[in-house]
Amino acid sequence: MDTLNLSDYLRFLVRRWRIIAALGLLGTAVGVFVTQTTTPQYQATSTLFVSLQDRDDTVKLNQGNTFAQARVRSYAEVVTSPRVTEPVVKFLRLDMTHSQLARKITTEVPLETVLLKITVTDTRPSRAARISDAIAHRFAEVIAEIERPEGARSSPVRLSITEHATKPRTPTSPNLVLNLALGLVAGLGLGTGLAVARESLDTSVRSRSDLTRCLADTGGPAVLGSVVLDQSASRHTVAADDDAFGRRAEDFRRLRTNLRFVDIDAPPKVIAVTSAVPAEGKTSISINLASSLAEFGSSVCLVDADLRRPSVASALGLVQDAGLTTVMIGQANTEDVMQSAGAFSVLASGVLPPNPAEMLGSEQFRTVVRSLADRFDHVVIDTAPVLPVADTPAMASAVDGYLLAARYAKSSRGQVTDAVRALQDVGATVLGSVLNMVPAKRDGEQYGYGYRPKTSGRRERLRLLARLMLRPRLRRRGRTATIGVFPAPSAPTVKDTTPVAAQEGGDHH
């Protein structure tokens, strides 16, 4: 795990709050359980006063008081001796041994006093009081015997009971408040420790800073953006078609803008979108990147070069069986199999070949890509994942650079690092990376979302977008200027092989 500062720790503690809260509640429940199942214990206390018999003058009184203070601490050790406990067990007929009784007795000597407090803990309040008083009486007798000089009739030391034990009304344990507090603290501590352990073992990318540190380890590119998770993305492949000014659409516009600044002198024209492993959303990024580039007024061709599991055509409702491989084997020209996705053109994968890596690394593939680059402002290529197969690195010589997609909480830092190095090993340029499917509340970049044009609704926004995208360009001299912020796309005329049912339905275009 990388070196973390306080804000990083606070961030992942907040991220793991569920497990911390769950163990905190579990600890509290254990505290309640212990309280309910523990047998109540009662305490009764007797107090004795230690004094000397001969106290005729002041000097002797002071000496006796000093003597008593010095001796009383030694007396406390005698309270639990068999000489005291055995007679009490017999006298009260207790169902326990003298050792068991000794474990129920505690003594206390208040500082700078000649007082001795004897406390007995028992499960029955009345028995605790009887035992405490019996121990006090027997202890006074034992001390008198010990301190009596040989041949003397009485002891100079006298222990008087100043406070007899009373029957306690409430148990001293279990203490519900204490048990709840201990359970809660223990649960929270265990939850925090488990959260730290899981965070240490979790190598997934969970923030742009994680992805930035990961790419920095390879000397790789910067993070060009993040795309928010949208549960309706599967129903609305093109984000701008669902909500032209929604957060997801804005994320792709920011990605488009950042790509334009990767290399101002030689901006990338042929961009391959890939990922380390499958299911990280690279196809969605490819489609929406093509859409956002076309929205800016560029002519764009989206090529499905994932010749193992192509998904562009199915996502857009187009025909998959005629496309890239059809052109490469010479059965058709690109014009014959090019399809329209509204604002941009699509070259589907075509029939899947038995040797995709060899085809993508061939001169024929480079020729097709170059011809598309000559006709379109931008060519976006959806590729296979980098790590499972060799297809994507094989096409390195045909593209200007790669855009690496990483999925929030799924892509591991090791996978991202290995993918970047695999591309670097073949001399490929990695333009940047994008963090995909980031939950809205996890993304710290929430500035300005919801800052929408003042229109009368979604229908008005879509109508405005259609006017911006589809109105033909007009010459400035002698004719009305084009209305809108962006110039209209100038894609070449291509043959539209979109199925009739898809054209009539209009759900994807």
**pLDDT recorded at residue 198:** 80
The residue ranges of every structural domain in the chain are 6-38+174-201, 42-163, 208-446+460-505
**pLDDT recorded at residue 329:** 95
For 464, the token pair is: 């405005």
Cβ atoms of 366 and 398 within 8 Å: the answer is: yes
Query: For residue 227, which phi and psi values (nearest 5 degrees)?
Result: -120, 125
Angle between helices 17-37 and 6-15 (to 10 degrees): 70
Question: Please, which pLDDT band fits residue 356 given cuts at 50, 70 and 90?
Answer: very high
Mean pLDDT confidence for 454-468:
52
Cβ atoms of 413 and 214 within 8 Å: the answer is: yes
Q: Which of 215, 222, 207 is nearest to 432 (CA)?
A: 222
Strand partners, 106: 119
CATH architecture of 42-163: 2-Layer Sandwich (3.30)
Distances (CA, A) of 227 to 85, 220, 236, 331, 420: 77, 20, 15, 38, 20
Mean pLDDT confidence for 453-480:
46
Least confident of 214-223, 300-309, 422-431: 214-223
**Strand 401-407 to strand 378-382: parallel, antiparallel, or no bridges (unpaired)?**
unpaired
Look-up of token digits 């499958």: 278
Least confident of 62-71, 188-197, 311-320, 340-349: 62-71
According to the CATH classification, is domain 208-446+460-505 in 3.40.50.300? Answer: yes
User: DSSP secondary structure string, 172-201?
Assistant: SBS-HHHHHHHHHHHHHHHHHHHHHHHHHH
Helix, strand, coil abundance in the chain, percent, nearest 5: 45, 15, 40
- pLDDT of residue 496 exceeding 70: no
**pLDDT recorded at residue 59:** 47
Q: How far apart are the first and last CA of the chain?
A: 46
Chain mean pLDDT for the chain: 84
**pLDDT recorded at residue 458:** 53
Counting beta carbons within 10 angstroms of the beta carbon of residue 327, is it exposed (0 to 12), middle (13 to 18) or buried (19 or more)?
buried
Q: What percent of the chain has pLDDT over 90?
A: 60
**pLDDT recorded at residue 200:** 76
- pLDDT of residue 467 exceeding 50: no
Distances (CA, A) of 361 to 375, 393, 437: 22, 8, 31
Q: What is the pTM of this model?
A: 0.64
For 507, the token pair is: 């759900």
For 257, the token pair is: 């803008």
How far apart (Å, rounded) are the C-alpha atoms in residues 478 and 474?
9
Angle between helices 176-201 and 6-15 (to 10 degrees): 110
| Gyration radius (Cα) of the chain, Å | 42
At 340 the three-state DSSP class reads: strand
- pLDDT of residue 404 exceeding 60: yes
- Which pLDDT tens digit goes with each residue over 314-332? 999 999 999 999 999 999 9
Pick the more confident residue, 467 or 28: 28
